[in-house]
């Protein structure tokens, strides 16, 4: 598994946001169900649940100890049973979510394999997600974004943890025509750039767009229709639109480059050739 430290960096970033008291009500984490990701998400939950006045999580208050011991009354894990997260489970959650927390300042629900939510369960969850009770947080880990209904997805903050995509992208691209080394160089460049101003980032994206367009023209002239490349160009275009808005540039660029790894890797995989 190639994670390239992306999950780690994302969690560091989020820990800062959570400790600053600026967490959103619902997050969709995209990545493998593994110890690193589960620990990272539980660490975020601990920040929310910790009762300390000062630095969170303190690790010593009652909430911290109960969470570590797996018996915090305001923390619930929802995992698939028989391969699915079912309606009954979501009904209970929606009922429980409106009740006040027992111990901590809030309640946290952690979903594992969120993409296994059945459609009927997802629709039942939608109303609670749209109008969440004030002190309730949903942290959901999904391995496949496409398994999550768009109506649900659009109401959650999306966090790409990277493991799944990178494993796929590098694996598919290895030993093919795709110059992964170029993308790695772009990645490093993006890392340097993202602390610069928005104009610089837009110029970088403009250059990237031109480069990909040239590749596309060459491919079309050669009689192929590289869907991955087209999607890559669309992703760059979308990112350029976002740079004008008040977004985190580093996250934006990382997301974009992950998309490119994925799309361009797929283009070169044996299945599509
Ligand atoms: Zn604590």
228 and 149, same domain (yes or no): no
90 and 156, same domain (yes or no): yes
Neighbours of 89 (CB within 10 A): 21
Q: What distance in angstroms lies between residue 110's CA and the mean position of ligand 1's atoms?
A: 18
Q: What distance in angstroms lies between residue 64's CA and the mean position of ligand 1's atoms?
A: 4
What 3 state SS string does 131-177 have? CCCCCEEEEEEECCHHHCCHHHHCCCEEEECCHHHHHHHHHHHCCCC
- What residues make up the domain containing 98? 6-161
Residue 173 has pLDDT above 60, yes or no: no
| Residue that finishes a domain, picked among 128, 161, 194 | 161
For residues 44-53, one letter each, b for 16 or more C-beta atoms within 10 angstroms of the residue's C-beta and e for the rest, the string is bbbbbbbeee
Residue that wins the pLDDT comparison between 229 and 53: 53
Domain count, the chain: 2
Q: What distance in angstroms lies between residue 263's CA and the mean position of ligand 1's atoms?
A: 42
212 and 187, same domain (yes or no): yes
- Complex ipTM value: 0.99
What's the CA dihedral at 66, 72, 73, 78 to 10 degrees? -170
Q: What distance in angstroms lies between residue 200's CA and the mean position of ligand 1's atoms?
A: 42
pLDDT tens, residue by residue, 90-105: 999 999 999 999 999 9
Q: What distance in angstroms lies between residue 159's CA and the mean position of ligand 1's atoms?
A: 25
Q: Which one, of 36, 4, 1, 31, lies nearest residue 187 by Cα?
A: 4
Please, which residues have CB within 8 angstroms of residue 144's CB and are 6 or more apart in sequence? 115, 164
pLDDT recorded at residue 170: 29
Mean pLDDT of 3-9: 74
Looking up tokens 């093919």 gives: 176
**Lowest-confidence pick of 100-104, 114-118, 195-199:** 195-199
Residue 177 has pLDDT above 50, yes or no: no
74 and 154, same domain (yes or no): yes
Q: What distance in angstroms lies between residue 121's CA and the mean position of ligand 1's atoms?
A: 33
pLDDT recorded at residue 268: 43
34 and 124, same domain (yes or no): yes
Cis peptide before 57 (omega within 30 of 0): yes
Confidence of residue 169 (pLDDT cuts 50, 70, 90): very low
| Residue that finishes a domain, picked among 131, 161, 191 | 161
pLDDT tens, residue by residue, 41-68: 999 999 999 999 999 999 999 999 999 9
């Amino acid at each position: 598994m190639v994670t390239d430290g992306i999950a780690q960096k994302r969690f560091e970033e989020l820990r800062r946001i959570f400790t600053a008291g600026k967490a959103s009500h619902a997050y969709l984490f995209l990545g493998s169900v593994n110890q690193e990701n589960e620990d990272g998400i539980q660490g975020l939950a601990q920040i929310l649940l910790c009762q300390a006045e000062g630095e969170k999580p303190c690790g010593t208050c009652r909430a911290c100890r109960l969470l570590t011991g797996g018996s915090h009354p305001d923390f619930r894990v929802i995992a698939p049973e028989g391969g699915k997260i079912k309606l009954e489970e979501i009904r209970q959650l929606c009922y429980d979510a409106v009740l006040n927390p027992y111990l901590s300042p809030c309640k946290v629900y952690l979903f594992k394999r969120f993409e296994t939510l059945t459609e009927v369960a997802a629709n039942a969850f939608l109303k609670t997600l749209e109008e969440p009770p004030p002190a309730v947080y949903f942290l959901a880990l999904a391995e496949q974004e496409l398994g999550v209904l768009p109506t649900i997805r659009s109401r959650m903050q999306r966090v790409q943890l990277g493991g799944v995509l990178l494993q796929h992208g590098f694996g598919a691209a290895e030993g093919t025509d795709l110059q992964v080394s170029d993308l790695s160089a772009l990645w490093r460049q993006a890392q340097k750039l993202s602390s610069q101003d928005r104009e610089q980032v837009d110029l970088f994206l403009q250059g990237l767009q031109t480069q990909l367009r040239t590749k596309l023209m060459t491919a079309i002239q050669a009689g192929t229709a590289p869907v991955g490349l087209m999607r890559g160009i669309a992703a760059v275009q979308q990112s350029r639109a976002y740079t004008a808005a008040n977004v985190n540039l580093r996250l934006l660029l990382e997301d974009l480059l992950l998309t490119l790894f994925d799309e361009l890797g797929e283009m070169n995989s044996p299945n599509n050739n």
